[in-house]
Structure 1
Amino acid sequence: MNKRKRVHDHEPRPRASPVDQEKARLRRSIAEIGEPSRSQVDEVLREITDAIVSAHEEVRPPVLETISAVVFEQPHKIPLLSFLVDLVNRKLPSFSRTVVEMTHTVIADALKFGLYRKLDVFLRFAASISVIDGNNVEELIADLAERANDIPHLALGHSLYSAAVFATLYRLNTGAPMNERIEKALLAFSPVVECDASEIAPFYGENAPYTGQFSIVLLAEAVRNAQAEGWPTDFLLKASRLLPEITDEDSKETHRFPAVQVAKADELVPSRISRHEPLRPPIWTRIYLPRDGIKTVPEPNTIFAQLLRDVASANINQMDFNRKEVTRQLITLDIFFESTKFAPPGVAFDELVNFTDGRSTIKVEDVALEAVLDQMFRLPSPGFPTVYFDTILIEACVMAPQAIAPVLGRALRFLFDNCESLDAEVYFRVIEWFGHHMSNFGFTWKWTEWTDALSLPKLHPKQVFMRELICKQVRLSYPQRVRDVLPSEFVGLVPEISEVPEFSYANDEKVSAFIKAAQESVERGLEAFDKLREAITAEKIGQEASELDKAISSVLVSSICQLGSRSVSHASTWVKQLSSLVRDNISDQQLTIDAIMSFWKEQPWTGALVLNRFVIEGLVSSESIVKYVTSHKDLLISNLGWEMLGRYEEGLEEAVQDISVDPWWDERLKKALLRRKAAKAQVAQLVAAEAAESSAPAQPEQKLVAAPPSEQEATTEVNELNAQPSEENGAEN
């Protein structure tokens, strides 16, 4: 019997035209410029140059778009891209002129619309293109630095100063002398920050491993240090050295960069709201402090450290639509700087003690991971859901396990050793991240290193950290799977979970009759509950009214939970169908919450999901949940309790005043909870103000790959990774 054939079974697939194929090849070559490949970088530069020069006219606009996208998303490639423009200029000046015009337009529009991150990177690009007549570029840098001095107390002033500093470095890297006006303005800047660093520092307190400092303050200090050292730029890649046969004496046409007018400080457009821009001046997070006199990351008050953190953060923030590409760029960041400034990739920390001959001990892996953790620990809120940063770190271990796992292990040990100094919000973010990470590598970890912490008091931060971390692993797996990988000393921390929740009224005939009637039809269930309520009332005659209310609440809510215990969707259905019973018979919402969490006491995370269905049906208010969580110590200091307080915030200001766990928890929880609520209110105000006042929408950025995933999709990706990586090399010492 002949199978039925589809219409298109034998039709050839449409073949891309030669022009489209040429576009794709060139765009990929530019996007991957400088990355490890079979060809040397100098050969790649020549090939791309020749391809652009000989390309069809239709190919050049897409090439221009790709250059623009790479500059914005991967600013560490700017030295190579600017040199590429110089090379093309020798054979096709019209294309280079178009690049200069595009760069000028982007910079002018960025100032006009308040897109200061775009202004920052494109100003660097303009400063590093040697075929540009640099006078107007330098005047623009000087103008921005002077405007920053007019508003040193505003985030806008900090953004302008940062843009001027980094553009100056790239300008100096072309061989241009230091502009006196720029130097004077940069050195005069004295940032003013209107909040205490300890309010948003990831570590604080007497035993903090270091004193938190604002990044903008460190940048100003780095500028003064750079000036004292003669403005070194020896860490920037000198792309011209790749083709030594091409000299500045070669005939080349220069292009005018039109002047860009910078408005007065009070007339500048405020920065547009962006999800990755901090609400407060960011703190410089440090994880890899010098050990045994060995520095694996540059000191934060050096211009090299500031530039590395900036380009790494740009990759993370501007390429969130492709976490794998972000990871690949981060762990190969060193090849876009002078090689002598980094230790060989993957070198073990113990081997660095032998680097006594002046070789650099800076590890690109440490630089990259510290930048990711800096973004993850940003307060009051990170720029993306924390699961995004989780996936970057997971991908790093998958791509380069031998190089990344030891570095990650050092970070985790540092965080655990100093968890008593952690801000409460950062504390729970670490648990969330570490739990996700371990679930992707077979839950393996050198637990015996933490054996001493088992003897600490129950409420000690390290005790709670271990307990909540194991609980998180159980949520992502199941108890026996976790027990199998834990040393015997830690098995006692694994919560006991039965396959079927215990139903307290399983042997009560009246309750069983009500459940059976409800399963037959909602109407019969309503009638059966009337009889059940009468029976309960008769049993409680002579007792206080509160006892009667508690009994009715417990029976009704526990029965609903039992009916919906098969899944959250079942629970949702039964809550909706029997909502009238809850509404008519329970007046104290605390009794409803208590009954739900008691039924799901062995799986409180499931109880939280069921509780949310009661909120959706209007049976429980957010304020009641906040009051419940803050009045239950074990829940309050758990990762689940923190999640719940992040979802429900009504009445939080009043509830936090009643928190009473112990001094350490009380102070940190109150501070973190109120800060998080205030931050959400601030975001809402800013978004509303921008929507009302702004008449020009933000320009969409050119993306090279795909649209960013939703938070739900990102979370799904974390779970899907569970079966992919090896159980080894997740985090080593």
Structure 2
Amino acid sequence: MVGGKRSRNFDDDDGYRDFRPRMPKRQRVPPVVQLCKEMMPDIRTLGESVKAFEEDIKFLSEAIANEFGNEEYFQDALFKTLYAVIVEQPHKQPAIALLTMVVNAANPVAGKRILNHIFGKLQEWCTSTIDDNLQVTSSETGPWNKIKLLLRFLSLLSPMVEEDELILLYQRLFALSVSLNNVNPQKRNPLSEAVYCNTLLNIPYLFFFSRENESLKGKVAELIASVESSYLVKSTNLSLIKEYNTKSPYEPVQWVMAVLPNVKRVLSNEMQQISELFPDYSAMMKPQPGNQGFNDPLNLPTAEQLEPFSGLDRGMGSIDGMWKVPRYSFRVYLPNEVGEFETVVPFTTYAGMLFEDVILDIVESMEFNRKEVAKQVVTLDLFFKPGIFTEPGQSIAQLIALHEENPIITTHKIEDLAIEKILSMIFKLPNVSHPFAYFYTLLVEICQNSPKAIAPVFGRAFRYFFNNLDDLDLELKLRYLDWFSIQMSNFNFSWKWNEWEEVSVRHRDTFYSPKVTFMRNLIRKELRLTSSKSDVEESLTDEFKSYMESSFVPRSDLTNYYQSFFKDFQVDSGLLKDNTIFFTQSCFPFNEMIQDVINYFHKQPLERNVSELTAIFQEIQKNYGNIISDFNRFVVTTLMQSLAFSGNRSLSHANKYIGDSRNDLIEVFKNMEADQGLKERWIVEAIIRYWNSNSQNGYLIVDTCKNFELVSAKAILDFSFLEDQGRNWGLVDATSMESTFRTLTELSQRRDASVETFVFMFERLSEIASDTVNQLGTASDVAVMAPESDSAIAELELVWKYESCLGFIKSVLRKYADEYATSVEPLSAILNAKISHQRTKEVVSNWLNELQLL
């Protein structure tokens, strides 16, 4: 006992509690796991550091050669990593191939296993090409694109692999492309083109490490001669998928037409172009016996087995799907825009075609890692021969000065190349591979990583599309609008609006001018993207501040709308306010009863009785019916605007109010002696007029009414394309156009959807086009042309209206080709009945004929 207390023996279990925090025991990581954690990231980033490349090859090859065969865990991790890099980051394939061959020299068993693992993957994808149950993920580029990439990697291993085995792979694939091409000699075969182009594009990779191999050169020359003589290139001109309607700022080039000449040129002149394109890794190479072969021959499906899949329209993956229609080159950065020199490697060269192919693969296959994509596409130059591109970040002014000083110096910018190829995916017709948000945020990411270098590149693209707006496809105008507005909202709306002031001053008061329409829609969209109106206003010059008015129709039109409800009664337009029911204002003698209607909708559904609602309107009709011109229209408008007002806090609130009140509305509407189509038009008009200050909200709430079967899709489209004293809002307002495409898209996704609404859309647009060309008085056999002078504004407006209408027809036919392709006969009958102008009829008739090819 010490001090009256028993001494505590900490060895005894006598109730002592240790209050120290108990940490989980650190598990000992097995050495092989630790090795993989250290090595696999180094393999994934191989080549990103040019200075460390040789050391990395030496270190990694020694580790793989020594470790291979000891642990299955290591082999599995290695195979997965190598495969992922090969198919997701194809620009790193040469580095991986070099690593593989250095390993093969030290450990042929390891080399053989890697070779056959990749060959096994090639066989798996060949087998999957005829699998009806193939599951396609968001980042899946497609089995044929995987086959392309795996063949490219095997081609890089040419010093290591038996020549005849590699040549046989090419022969088999070319024979397949020829067979598919010959299934229908008159018709383009998408899969045949994909296999033909992909396989040709890989041929130069056979010589990456084998430029002095004369035997291989001879066999490849025979291979190319054989495919050139047996493959009939079919040039298909589809006007429906052209980015520009009449005049294109450049001549698009088809992949299938350009690939063989590009490959032949790159192999000519003792492969000088290959030496200028591919880096020289010979100092790091180890001698290869060249005797490695594949365990089994490649088993390819037959043309007959592949024929049902050859349209590439059955969920085959994002890049495979691009071959469904003819693939064309896409340009943004044209030489005449900067000073008669190219900033992007031309598509009519092998290098230009290859760079496009590689960037598309990176962007499409690594959609799950946007930050990595943003990094890889602007550092692509590290993996090719130095000197192809200028120093990153050089301005156009610097390039002009350098070019004047030395005309043979390179002017190609890696930033221009990367941005142009990503824009080509945003502006791809007929379909985009991923949700637009992926591409938009990818571009934001690239710019945030290097704003000084990238912001000017964006600026040049903005100007290019704006300058070519008149001829740009309608759907692409909307994509351009989205991209521009998102970029601006992410960069404090900083755009030099004074560049466009001249256009605005000249055509400010026009309705259909493509450029003025774009500027109006852009500013309105920017206002919707921010809670701070002042941010947008501060970015604008005085000339553009008038476009800050976000109303769908002018205030005078809104006043006339409300005045049209009354006779012998004058409305007070001074009381018109945004997002408020006009009928509750003090100038109306029944305003308190309108408030009773609103109060009715604020009750819980179980507390309501529709007779109460009916009684309110009966009293209004009894006391004030003599001043109301059409009481049914007044009732419909009041009910719908009361619901819009009650739910104006958010779309979800609006949805709830409309959903809760649906049965009451149907009960009231069914007792009206009015045509159903007229009632639906009143509903749509009431909501859009209520939300005049934010028509996007209005159209989204109209969608809710459609979902609750209060209005039809046809009613929405009918309202959007109403003629109003020569003005047709559906042709110019972005929220209306978005509503049209949204309505038709939702309809096309319904299994029970009828084509009736699609036919109505075509008929309505045909009527507008016909009326417009008749007003112009253009001779039947003469194409509609803009007047030579801008001073003929009235004529110019009609030309713009006509072109907008034709552009809309082109876009809906392309976008909903499946629906329209089943109705070509009735569409042709409508065309002949509605349009007498021969040249217009020829253009639209040609589009109808193309529907079967989409």
| Band of TM-score, shorter chain | 0.7 to 0.9
**2:444 corresponds to 1:394:** yes
Aligned equivalent of 2:6: none
Aligned equivalent of 1:713: none
What amino acid is aligned across from residue 595 of structure 2 in structure 1?
S
1:213 deviates by: 3.2
Residues 267 and 274, structure 2, Cα contact 8 Å, conserved in 1: no
**2:686 corresponds to 1:646:** no
Residues 657 and 670, structure 1, Cα contact 8 Å, conserved in 2: no
**2:684 corresponds to 1:669:** no
In structure 2, C-alpha distance between the alignment counterparts of 1:216 and 1:344, rounded to whole Å: 33
What amino acid is aligned across from residue 168 of structure 1 in structure 2?
I
How do residues 43-192 of structure 1 correspond to structure 2 at under 5 angstroms? 43-55=55-67, 57=71, 58-114=73-129, 115-129=143-157, 130-152=159-181, 153-175=188-210, 176=213, 177-178=216-217, 179-188=220-229, 189-192=231-234
Aligned equivalent of 2:332: 287
1:124 deviates by: 0.3
Residues 262 and 349, structure 2, Cα contact 8 Å, conserved in 1: yes
Aligned equivalent of 2:547: 493
1:503 to 581, 588, 600: 581
Aligned equivalent of 1:349: 396
Residues 554 and 595, structure 1, Cα contact 8 Å, conserved in 2: yes
In structure 1, C-alpha distance between the alignment counterparts of 2:21 and 2:280, rounded to whole Å: 50
**2:615 corresponds to 1:531:** yes
What amino acid is aligned across from residue 49 of structure 1 in structure 2?
S
1:437 deviates by: 0.7
1:569 deviates by: 1.6
Residues 241 and 430, structure 2, Cα contact 8 Å, conserved in 1: yes
Q: What RMSD in Å do the two structures reach over aligned CA positions? A: 2.7
What amino acid is aligned across from residue 305 of structure 2 in structure 1?
E
In structure 1, C-alpha distance between the alignment counterparts of 2:256 and 2:19, rounded to whole Å: 63
What TM-score, normalized to structure 1? 0.86
In structure 2, C-alpha distance between the alignment counterparts of 1:342 and 1:447, rounded to whole Å: 32
For 2:34, what is the secondary structure of its paired residue?
A: helix
Residues 513 and 528, structure 1, Cα contact 8 Å, conserved in 2: no
* Structure 2 spans left out of the alignment, 5+ residues: 1-17, 130-142, 182-187, 552-575, 586-590, 670-675, 748-756, 769-797, 823-854
**2:495 corresponds to 1:445:** yes
1:212 deviates by: 2.8
For 2:335, what is the secondary structure of its paired residue?
A: coil
1:638 deviates by: 2.4
2:599 to 504, 507, 516: 516
Residues 30 and 67, structure 1, Cα contact 8 Å, conserved in 2: yes
1:297 deviates by: 1.3
How do residues 143-542 of structure 1 correspond to structure 2 at under 5 angstroms? 143-152=172-181, 153-175=188-210, 176=213, 177-178=216-217, 179-188=220-229, 189-194=231-236, 196-206=237-247, 208-226=248-266, 229=269, 232-238=273-279, 240-241=281-282, 243=284, 246-248=285-287, 254-256=292-294, 258-268=296-306, 270=309, 271=312, 273-276=315-318, 277-278=321-322, 279-291=324-336, 292-353=339-400, 354-355=402-403, 356=406, 358-454=408-504, 455-456=506-507, 457-478=510-531, 479-496=533-550, 501-507=579-585, 508-522=591-605, 523-524=607-608, 526-538=610-622
Aligned equivalent of 2:44: 31
1:533 deviates by: 2.2
How do residues 11-30 of structure 1 correspond to structure 2 at under 5 angstroms? 11=24, 16-30=29-43
Residues 297 and 366, structure 1, Cα contact 8 Å, conserved in 2: yes
What amino acid is aligned across from residue 339 of structure 1 in structure 2?
P
Residues 107 and 123, structure 1, Cα contact 8 Å, conserved in 2: yes
Instruction: Quickly say closer, same or farther: Cα 1:283–1:653, change in 2 above 3 A.
Output: farther
In structure 2, C-alpha distance between the alignment counterparts of 1:217 and 1:531, rounded to whole Å: 74
1:634 to 729, 754, 768: 729
For 1:339, what is the secondary structure of its paired residue?
A: coil
For 2:583, what is the secondary structure of its paired residue?
A: coil
1:458 deviates by: 2.9
What TM-score, normalized to structure 2? 0.74
In structure 2, C-alpha distance between the alignment counterparts of 1:60 and 1:239, rounded to whole Å: 29
In structure 2, C-alpha distance between the alignment counterparts of 1:143 and 1:253, rounded to whole Å: 21
**2:619 corresponds to 1:566:** no
In structure 1, C-alpha distance between the alignment counterparts of 2:291 and 2:169, rounded to whole Å: 22
Aligned equivalent of 1:709: none
Residues 523 and 547, structure 2, Cα contact 8 Å, conserved in 1: yes
Instruction: Quickly say closer, same or farther: Cα 1:16–1:566, change in 2 above 3 A.
Output: farther
Q: Which moved more, 1:593-602 or 1:516-525?
A: 516-525
Deviations 1:408-466 (A, max 9, x none): 11111111111112111111100001111110000001111111110223311111111
What amino acid is aligned across from residue 182 of structure 1 in structure 2?
L
What amino acid is aligned across from residue 487 of structure 2 in structure 1?
H
Instruction: Quickly say closer, same or farther: Cα 1:611–1:234, change in 2 above 3 A.
Output: same
1:233 deviates by: 1.7
Residues 296 and 361, structure 1, Cα contact 8 Å, conserved in 2: yes
For 1:648, what is the secondary structure of its paired residue?
A: helix
In structure 2, C-alpha distance between the alignment counterparts of 1:527 and 1:18, rounded to whole Å: 80
For 1:383, what is the secondary structure of its paired residue?
A: coil
In structure 1, C-alpha distance between the alignment counterparts of 2:118 and 2:276, rounded to whole Å: 25
How do residues 580-591 of structure 1 correspond to structure 2 at under 5 angstroms? 580-586=663-669, 587=676, 588-591=679-682
What amino acid is aligned across from residue 266 of structure 1 in structure 2?
E
Deviations 1:574-595 (A, max 9, x none): 1111111222233421111111
What amino acid is aligned across from residue 21 of structure 1 in structure 2?
Q
Aligned equivalent of 1:656: 762
What amino acid is aligned across from residue 641 of structure 1 in structure 2?
S
Deviations 1:335-371 (A, max 9, x none): 1111122222222222223142633221111111111
Q: Which moved more, 1:305-314 or 1:448-457?
A: 448-457
Residues 389 and 411, structure 2, Cα contact 8 Å, conserved in 1: yes
Q: Which moved more, 1:148-157 or 1:548-557?
A: 148-157
What amino acid is aligned across from residue 172 of structure 2 in structure 1?
D
In structure 1, C-alpha distance between the alignment counterparts of 2:740 and 2:26, rounded to whole Å: 54
Q: Which moved more, 1:667-676 or 1:290-299?
A: 290-299
Q: Which moved more, 1:233-242 or 1:341-350?
A: 233-242
For 1:397, what is the secondary structure of its paired residue?
A: helix
Residues 49 and 87, structure 1, Cα contact 8 Å, conserved in 2: yes
In structure 1, C-alpha distance between the alignment counterparts of 2:235 and 2:264, rounded to whole Å: 19
Instruction: Quickly say closer, same or farther: Cα 1:575–1:358, change in 2 above 3 A.
Output: same
1:625 to 716, 728, 737: 716
Residues 174 and 196, structure 2, Cα contact 8 Å, conserved in 1: yes
What amino acid is aligned across from residue 648 of structure 1 in structure 2?
T
In structure 1, C-alpha distance between the alignment counterparts of 2:106 and 2:373, rounded to whole Å: 34
Residues 200 and 260, structure 2, Cα contact 8 Å, conserved in 1: no
1:236 deviates by: 4.1
* Structure 1 spans left out of the alignment, 5+ residues: 684-733
In structure 2, C-alpha distance between the alignment counterparts of 1:158 and 1:229, rounded to whole Å: 27
What amino acid is aligned across from residue 612 of structure 1 in structure 2?
D
Q: Which moved more, 1:450-459 or 1:468-477?
A: 450-459
Higher relative contact order (CA 8 A, sep 6+): 1
1:299 deviates by: 1.9
For 1:584, what is the secondary structure of its paired residue?
A: helix
In structure 2, C-alpha distance between the alignment counterparts of 1:236 and 1:437, rounded to whole Å: 34
In structure 2, C-alpha distance between the alignment counterparts of 1:592 and 1:492, rounded to whole Å: 30
